């Protein structure tokens, strides 16, 4: 039986692709071997494709949380009506500010 190839391209001019290429070089393994290893690991753990894609739901919830923190308001949806509560100006500590900025930076990555 002939080998089946699954080509993938990388653009070394983009930061994310360059990071992947550099990481694989540091590991000293071929890209194909590494991908096979990751697939086998997923197969053994029993992860489904849906579970692997559930990060998008987490990303949406984080976006909503960041929006609440930025706008100082909370929306509550009930079966019959939607209520909005304005909150006082949020006074955040330096630690809270760093956490908020980290979430915002994470969201700017598209949750990837």
Domain locations along the chain? 15-52, 55-108
- Burial of 82: CB neighbours in 10 Å, binned 0-12, 13-18, 19+: exposed
- 33-66: pLDDT as tens digits: 888 888 888 888 876 666 666 667 777 777 777 7
Decide: 18 and 12 in contact? Cβ < 8 Å.
yes
Query: What is the helix, strand, coil percentage profile of the chain, to 5?
Result: 60, 10, 35
Let me know: does 56 contact 111? Beta carbons within 8 Å.
yes
pLDDT tens digits for 16-38? 889 988 988 898 888 888 888 88
């Amino acid at each position: 039986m002939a080998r089946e190839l699954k080509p993938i391209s990388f653009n070394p001019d983009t930061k994310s692709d360059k990071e992947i290429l550099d990481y694989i070089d540091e590991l000293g393994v071929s890209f194909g071997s590494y991908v096979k290893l990751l697939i086998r690991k997923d197969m053994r753990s029993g992860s489904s494709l849906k579970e692997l894609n559930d990060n998008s739901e987490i990303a949406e919830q984080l976006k909503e949380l960041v929006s609440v923190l930025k706008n100082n308001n909370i929306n509550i949806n009930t079966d019959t009506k939607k209520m909005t509560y304005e909150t006082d100006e949020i006074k955040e500590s330096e630690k809270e500010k760093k956490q908020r900025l980290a979430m915002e930076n994470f969201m700017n990555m598209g949750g990837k």
